Amino acid sequence: MKEKTIDYVLRATWMAVSKMYNEEAGKAGSTMSTGFALLSIDPENGTPSTSLGPKMGMEATSLSRILKTMEDKGLILRKKNPKDGRSVLIYLTDFGREMREYSKKVVLRFDEAVKENVSEEDLKTFTEVANTILNLISEKKIYKEEIKIE
């Protein structure tokens, strides 16, 4: 295939973004996944652990590993949910709030750099295309029928 597929462009771009975020997070002794988790936790009220996985688009086992590491590093605290003793709420520690601010600055700087180099119209088109792709996937409109191997 001479022409790059949409899949290739998406994957290559995400891999570059992921690498960039991991390099920045590494400067603060963190990872992109940890930063993403920090940004997904409500800094005031905490977040139920059960809603964190879907919010981040992660499987429970991967999320459990990240949360364990975050707890070991003193970024979060787990407390029983006072409204439902079976569930756990995740809260940020003071250090977790500091690292959340760092992660937020990294993400906002990326947004700023892209907006400085891409027109508002092109960004709007990009967002529309990305949302269309997400909808095609979530509504299972791409692989309705099995692809036959011949």
Angle at 71 between CA 56 and CA 32, to 5 degrees: 40
Of 48, 84, 86, the residue nearest 67 (C-alpha) = 48
- Do the Cβ atoms of 101 and 41 come closer than 8 Å? no
Q: Residue 142 gets which letter from DSSP?
A: S
**Gap between the Cα atoms of 71 and 95, Å rounded:** 11
Residue whose pair of structure tokens reads 């977790």 in the numeric block: 96
Q: What is the pTM of this model?
A: 0.85
- Do the Cβ atoms of 57 and 93 come closer than 8 Å? no
pLDDT at position 115 is: 98
**Gap between the Cα atoms of 137 and 1, Å rounded:** 23
- Do the Cβ atoms of 79 and 46 come closer than 8 Å? yes
Q: Domains, the chain, ranges and CATH? A: 4-137 (1.10.10.10)
CA distances from 30 to 11, 68, 73, 134 (A): 23, 14, 10, 29
User: How high is the mean pLDDT of the chain?
Assistant: 93
User: Which residues have CB under 8 Å from 56's CB, separation 6+?
Assistant: 36, 37, 40, 63
**Gap between the Cα atoms of 17 and 134, Å rounded:** 18
pLDDT per residue as tens digits for the range 43-86: 999 999 888 988 888 888 889 999 999 999 999 999 998 888 78
- Do the Cβ atoms of 51 and 63 come closer than 8 Å? no
Q: What percent of the chain has pLDDT over 70?
A: 99
